[in-house]
Amino acid sequence: MKKVIILMAVLAFGLFGFTRLSSAQHVHGGMSGGSMKMDTKEVLVDGTQVTFQVMSNDEHLKMLKDMKMKEDIEPSTTHNITVILKDEKSQKDLTGATVTMKVVDPTGKDQIKTMKYDDMMKSYDAYFDLKEMGKYQVMVLLKMGDQKKTAGIYYEVK
């Protein structure tokens, strides 16, 4: 219990301690000519570029199909959240991290998951239930060797 409280405090501090936050909504073209809707937000924290990509499970399935990839969507979830880590200066992918994500819904209920690394996509991802309308707080704790960093965004379900 004490570890969870410390993790939440560190994540909350990190969410408000950003040095840079940018936001964009991208529409990605699939290989079959379809388009994918993905919300992308980028945060810079202590030399690490953290890119958050949020996509509904329906859109994620379309993207996977277009890429000829097969993945089982986690039951009782509505969205896939992907995190890409890069070194700010070299723009090299940071692949050896342990990434724990906490998502807090508009009512204050949270979900905490360790994200899975995908070597082909050079990203970390997990599935979450974002069925409530409103603003979600999305936070990550990054462990890279003996370093720990936090980053976060807000994502709104309309």
Mean pLDDT within 55-73: 87
Q: Which has more pLDDT, 63 or 123?
A: 123
Cα–Cα distance, 126 to 59 (Å, whole number) = 15
* Contact indicator for 144, 92 with CB cutoff of 8 Å: no
Whether 26 has a pLDDT exceeding 50, the answer reads: no
Q: What pLDDT digit, counting tens, does each position of 134-147 carry?
A: 999 999 999 999 99
Q: Mean pLDDT across the stretch 86-97?
A: 96
Q: How far is residue 51 from each of residues 3, 23, 64, 100, measured CA to CA in Å?
A: 26, 10, 19, 14
What is the extent of the structural domain holding 67? 2-157
Structure tokens at 119: 């070597």
Quickly state the pLDDT bin for 18 (edges 50, 70, 90). Answer: very low
Domain total of the chain:
1
Nearest to 41 by CA among 24, 27, 55: 24
CATH number at residue 70: 2.60.40.3340
Q: Stretch 41-52: mean pLDDT, rounded?
A: 97
Q: How far apart are the first and last CA of the chain?
A: 33
Instruction: Give which of 26, 41, 36 is closest to 139, Cα–Cα.
Output: 41
Of residues 148, 37, 152, the one with CA closest to residue 104: 152
The residue ranking higher by pLDDT, 28 or 144, is: 144
Q: What is the mean pLDDT of residues 122-150?
A: 96
Please check whether residue 82 is in contact with residue 42, taking contact to mean a CB–CB distance below 8 angstroms.
no
Tell me the residue ranges of DSSP E strands in the chain: 20-29, 35-45, 48-56, 79-87, 98-104, 110-114, 116-118, 123-128, 134-144, 147-157
Mean pLDDT of the chain, nearest integer: 82
Looking at residue 102, its pLDDT comes to 98
Give yes or no for residue 67 having a pLDDT over 60: yes
Q: Kindly tell me if the per-residue pLDDT of 70 is higher than 70.
A: yes
pLDDT at 2 over 90: no
